[in-house]
A = this chain, B = another copy of it.
Amino acid sequence: MDLQLFTIGQLSKQTGCKVPTIRYYEGIELLPNPPRTEGGQRRYNAHHLQTLRFICHGRELGFPIKAIRELLELDQFQQDSRASTEDGCHRADQIALEHLHRIERKIDQLSGLRDELKMMINACKSGDNHSCQVMSVLADHQLCQHSHGAADDNE
């Protein structure tokens, strides 16, 4: 029936997604352009709401926008042609799996960092001399070895 229209603010409240972020998603063509009032304000329908929910939840789960875009296209594809639902499912599964691996790698990395930091801090606490272990560990990197990349790769 789809007669219910929402303002951008209402959409924001329903999804928890901030207003500028919704506009941003429109700008990058992740969320379809909604119709406008005569005055130029956006009016969304139930389908927009659903799509935005999908996007937001994906982002909360840490999926990169690129992956979400692909998942949305897959969804579109499946709705367009009734075919290859299994392929679509397979691909969606694959995207989720890739993401799972990214996250598991990141957890390992961070666990290593956590341990190294703990060592630094403990060394500092128990230091009988007053020289700071935090500083010297950072300077010399002698307390332990670690073999992770930089921790700042944004997912």
Q: In the complex, what distance in Å separates the CA atom of A83 from the CA atom of B20?
A: 49
Which residues of chain B have C-beta atoms less than 8 A from A95's C-beta? 134
Known contacts A107-B114, A110-B103; decide if A135 and B92 are in contact (CB<8 Å): yes
Interface class of chain A by DSSP: helix
Interface size class of A (residues with CB under 8 A): 35 or more
Are B106 and A138 in contact (CB-based, < 8 A)? no
A54 located at the interface, meaning its Cβ lies under 8 Å from any Cβ of chain B in the complex: yes
Q: Please name 9 further chain A to chain B contacts, defined as beta carbons within 8 Å, in addition to the given A86-B130, A97-B121, A103-B117, sorted by A numbering.
A: A53-B139, A53-B140, A54-B139, A61-B138, A62-B150, A71-B135, A88-B132, A96-B124, A152-B155
Interface, chain A (partner B; CB < 8 A):
50, 53-54, 57-62, 71, 74-75, 85-86, 88-89, 92-93, 95-97, 99-100, 103-104, 106-107, 110-111, 113-114, 116-118, 120-121, 124-125, 127, 130-132, 134-135, 137-141, 146, 148-152, 154-155
